[in-house]
Amino acid sequence: MSSTEKPLSQAIRERRATPSFDGAAIPNKDLKKILEAGLHAPSGYNMQPWRFIVVRDAEQKRRLRGASFNQAKVEEASVMIVACGDADGWRNGDLEEMLRLGRQGGMSESYAAQAKETIPNYLSNHPNMPMWLNRHVMIAFTHMLLTAETLGYDTAPMEGFEEEKVREVLKLPLSYHVVALLGIGHLKGADKHDGGRFEMSRVVFDEEYGKRMRL
């Protein structure tokens, strides 16, 4: 891989959902950068409920393809990252670890004491845990996707999978929700067409719904 990274703005402009990959391996140092970018994502209370299964083994990719409506790119990608959220992480040590790291970084004891009460209350009564997980996991996912693009890789986000089948292939605990799949590698053949994007006037409002944004 070239040592010069693409500027983020260029990566965003040029990115396409890759239709097909050539399967060439990704060096560990690049994979590490991509994963670390995801782990730096923000999350509510810094609870980091994301979990990622990295699939590189050919046989495991073949099985994952079988759980993903037979999408060929799942098997062709150099790396498949299966992005999950753990509904029970906060019960199983994440809260303590978040507080430990926070204290290291200067979190006050009064904040820590409050968080120890507030977070379990909030999460044990959360009205929509899958949505809460999804919200966080997709931010980390996007950090990874864009970092891969800045490093010169091509990426494919995927929601075409059957959760129960993925769960079986990856031997996931029951508390894990599968949120999305991310294929990373190098494009093989022609790229997908640019599907275009809605005008700002259609999807952005100024101050209140219906008021046109003019910039």
Q: Is 16 in the site for ligand FMN (CB under 6 A)?
A: yes
Q: How many Cβ atoms are within 10 Å of 96's Cβ, its own excluded?
A: 11
Q: With contact defined as beta carbons under 8 Å apart, do 21 and 183 qualify?
A: yes
Q: Is 195 in the site for ligand FMN (CB under 6 A)?
A: yes
Tokens 């393809």 locate to 65
Least distance between ligand FMN and beta carbon 159 (Å): 4
State which residue has the least CB distance to ligand FMN: 160
Least distance between ligand FMN and beta carbon 161 (Å): 7
Q: Is 180 in the site for ligand FMN (CB under 6 A)?
A: yes
- Which of 201, 147, 177, 162 minimizes the C-alpha distance to 26? 147
- Which of 214, 194, 202, 215 minimizes the C-alpha distance to 13? 194
Least distance between ligand FMN and beta carbon 156 (Å): 6
The full DSSP string for 130-178 is: HHHHHHHHHHHHHHHHHHHHHTT-EEEEE--S-HHHHHHHHT--TTEEE
User: For ligand FMN, which is the closer residue by CB, 48 or 134?
Assistant: 134
Site string (128-167) toward ligand FMN, x via CB under 6 A = -----------------------------xxxx-------
Q: Is 203 in the site for ligand FMN (CB under 6 A)?
A: no
Q: Is 17 in the site for ligand FMN (CB under 6 A)?
A: yes
Q: With contact defined as beta carbons under 8 Å apart, do 161 and 178 qualify?
A: yes
User: For ligand FMN, which is the closer residue by CB, 65 or 95?
Assistant: 65
Q: Is 173 in the site for ligand FMN (CB under 6 A)?
A: no
Q: How many Cβ atoms are within 10 Å of 196's Cβ, its own excluded?
A: 6
User: For ligand FMN, which is the closer residue by CB, 37 or 156?
Assistant: 156
Q: With contact defined as beta carbons under 8 Å apart, do 134 and 50 qualify?
A: no
Q: Is 27 in the site for ligand FMN (CB under 6 A)?
A: no
Least distance between ligand FMN and beta carbon 32 (Å): 24
Least distance between ligand FMN and beta carbon 103 (Å): 36
Cα 158 to its chain centre, rounded Å, is 11
Least distance between ligand FMN and beta carbon 140 (Å): 13
